[in-house]
Amino acid sequence: MNKYIRVHAFLICLVAALALQGCAGVNKAENKKGQGFFGWFKSAVEPPKEDATSLASEAAEYYAKGRYLLAGEVYQKIKDRYPFSPLATLAELRLADCKFHQDLFEEAIPLYVDFEKMHPTNESIAYVIFQEGSCYYHLMCPPDRDQTSTRKMIETYQRLLARFPDSPYAYEARKRIQKGLNTLAMHEIVVARWYLRVKQYPQAKMRLQTVLDSYPDTNAAKIAHRLIKKLKGVSYADAAKIKPWWERVLP
């Protein structure tokens, strides 16, 4: 009987030892993988780390839906986290586009300029230059206001036509250049009319002549011709006899 009890006890100890060894093996394997219960819990709670491809897919979805603010935030992540990824180049361009589509033209311009400097041989350069010009186009002021944006728009589009005369953007660029030239010409007309009101005829004639010389193919040139005809009867000597405009304006 005692012998039977000893054998039975030995078998129980053997089974227990094997069970413990199995548990230890499982825990060891899990620890190798950095898992175990706490590791599993941690992986279940923490979201998987985003890579450049998944971020680009998310940004493209936002962009396609016109949610440019969110798209810009995700493209900025790609640019910051994966600066050496090919997707970072696309992110740089799309960041500028997101600003453009939000009508933040003054913020978009330096982004397009930087892209052109950093990637001068990129296949999208024609588009980038066109977009830069388009920013200035949307920033144009009426003829009676400052014309800095108009001049920069014309310069940018002319640069586009010089480099890519047959690009898909050439036709629209030419149309906008013509519109810009007419705006500059009308600016000279506005100034000329002011000189006419204060009877400063030499200055008025000079402005009108500038329109005829620099912008002969604009609608403003027709106005300049008509106004110059009115000045033909006024000589510089007659104009000199007239009091300066500030003496007539001030009490």
CATH of the domain at 225: 1.25.40.10
Is 81 within the bounds of a domain?
Answer: no
Structure tokens at 86: 């090919």
Q: What is the model's pLDDT at position 234?
A: 64
Is 190 within the bounds of a domain?
Answer: yes
Q: How many domains is the chain built from?
A: 1
Structure tokens at 22: 């199995």
Give the C-alpha separation, 53 to 74, whole Å. 11
Is 177 within the bounds of a domain?
Answer: yes
Q: Is 185 exposed, middle or buried (0-12, 13-18, 19+ CB in 10 A)?
A: buried
Is 69 within the bounds of a domain?
Answer: no
Is 70 within the bounds of a domain?
Answer: no
Domain range for 170 is 140-249
User: What is the chain's length?
Assistant: 251
Give the C-alpha separation, 108 to 160, whole Å. 18
In the chain, which stretches have pLDDT less than 70? 1-49, 233-251
Structure tokens at 61: 């979805």
State the pTM of this model: 0.74
Is 80 within the bounds of a domain?
Answer: no
Is 205 within the bounds of a domain?
Answer: yes
